[in-house]
Structures are given as C-alpha cells and as structure tokens.
Amino acid sequence: MISFIKAKVEYKKVIGDRFLLKLNKNLNFLPGQFISIVLEKEGKKIIRQYSIASPPNEKIELYVKRVKNGIVSNYLYNLEVGNEITFMGPFGKFNLNNNNKNKDKVFIAVGTGIAPIRSMIKYLLNKKYEGNIYLYYGNRHFYDYFFYDEFKNLSNKYKNFYFYPVLSRPEKDIEWKGYKGYIQDNINLKDFKDKEVYICGSKNAVNINKKLVLNRGCDKNNLFIEGF
C-alpha cells in the first residue's frame, strides 16, 4: 500500500525559473529515483513526479523548473521555508547498475535532467568509486546553470571525476570558458565500448545522445535513459 509522507521545506534557492528545495526528510531510495508530489486542488488530487537530486542518506533535494502554467511547479516555487508538502515514493527504475563495479560511467544531462544524475554521481563519489566518472551537462544559459560550482569543485577534489559544462546560448555579458553549442557536439569521448552511459533530459536530447553513444560502440545493455 502506497502511503503519503509529509515534509517541510528546510531550504530554498531560486535562480531565474529554476529552484532547489531541500526538505527536512531523509528517505530510503536508490540514486536516480523520484518522488510524486501530491497537491489537492478543488477537491482533486494532482500528482507530479520530480527526481531526487540528493544522494541517499542525505535530506531530500528537488531541482525544479517553473512551468508558466504548471500547477504543481508554481505551487512548489511559491513555497517558503517551513511550509509543508505531501509526497509518495520513492519510485522509478532509472538507477545505477551495480553489476559492473568500477566500470567507467558516462553521464549526459540536459537542463533539469541533472537531478537524478547528481544523485548518482554524489553517491558514487561518496562511496569512493574507483572507475572514471564523466559528466556532460548542458544548458542554454549560464544563469540556468545550477550546480556549476559544485561540480567544478568536485572535479578538482576527485581525480576520477571529469566535468564538461556546455552552454548552447551563453550570455554576452559573461566570459564563458566552458564548451559551447549542443551537448552532442561536445562529447569528446570516441569509444563507449566498455562504458556505462546514463542519459537524462528532454526526449529529443535523450534520443540524439542515445544514437550518438550507440554509434560509438556503447552496448545497449550498458545504456540507461530517462526522458521527459
């Protein structure tokens, strides 16, 4: 039987139309899973799924893009610290494959698709994973770029973590030293034969990058995707 869980907002950070919520709740889940936020409006329950952006054994963090007419995303956006929300979960099969320990892992994320991938990467680094970890993370604008400093710091701290930030439309008022263009045009790994690949983002981005890695030798059994 699925039960409803209540939690309070402990922390909120907003950049443009994207925001991070930290809840005062720990949850037993697998990296990459999601929870379902439950909102009651006019006597009806409205349910939306959001990936957990934090690793297990830490308080739940949700990274959300505010949708102009989105009922639940705007509800979450307007929450203040101390407000309570209701959710169910965890759910989802977009999880780390534990059968191939220490195999190099490649993560490709676009926009808010970084949420479950952040959970996976932080979990691996916390566990002192010995294989190489590659992250290609694309956004349109720098001001959309949550977690840039965090991943940059992690790449400096861990010798086996490689971070490739990509912007398709960098602002003219900043000096962007990262990669420019679409993420699929900036993936510098040429051989995916012995690598696990995790891709998350819009369905279009997922399909394009799925085709790319398969063409470069990725075994379909080592490919894990989540599109929205």
CA 52 to chain centre: 8
Domain map of the chain by residue range? 5-91, 105-227
Mean pLDDT, residues 40-62:
94
Q: Tens of pLDDT along 59-115?
A: 999 999 999 999 999 999 999 999 999 999 999 999 998 766 778 999 999 999 999
CATH architecture assigned to 105-227: 3-Layer(aba) Sandwich (3.40)
Q: How far apart are CA 109 and CA 88, in angstroms?
A: 25
DSSP 3-state assignment of 33? coil
Tokens representing 172 are 């003219």
Enclosing H/E stretch for 120: helix 114-126
DSSP 3-state assignment of 71? helix
Amino acid at 177: K
Q: How would you label 82-119 residue by residue, b for 16+ Cβ within 10 Å and e otherwise?
A: eeebebebbebebbbeeeeeeebbbbbbbbbbbbbbbb
Collect contacts of 203-211 with beta carbons under 8 A, ≥24 apart. 203/227, 203/228, 205/110, 205/113, 205/138, 208/182, 208/184, 209/108, 209/183, 209/184
Greater pLDDT, 162 or 103:
162
pLDDT band of residue 1 (cuts 50, 70, 90) is low
Q: Tens of pLDDT along 20-44?
A: 999 999 999 999 999 999 999 888 9
Q: How far apart are CA 141 and CA 183, in angstroms?
A: 13
Residue 113 is predicted with a pLDDT of 96
Topology agreement, domain 5-91 and domain 105-227: no
Q: What is the distance in angstroms between the CA of the first residue and the CA of the last residue of the chain?
A: 27
Tokens representing 182 are 């679409």
Q: Tens of pLDDT along 188-210?
A: 999 999 999 999 999 999 999 99
pLDDT band of residue 162 (cuts 50, 70, 90) is very high
CATH class name, domain 5-91: mainly beta
Q: Tens of pLDDT along 131-160?
A: 999 999 999 888 788 999 999 999 999 999
pLDDT band of residue 172 (cuts 50, 70, 90) is confident
The answer for residues whose C-beta is within 8 angstroms of residue 213's C-beta and 6 or more apart is 106, 108, 187, 192, 197, 199, 223
Greater pLDDT, 16 or 63:
63
Residue 143 is predicted with a pLDDT of 79
Greater pLDDT, 180 or 176:
180
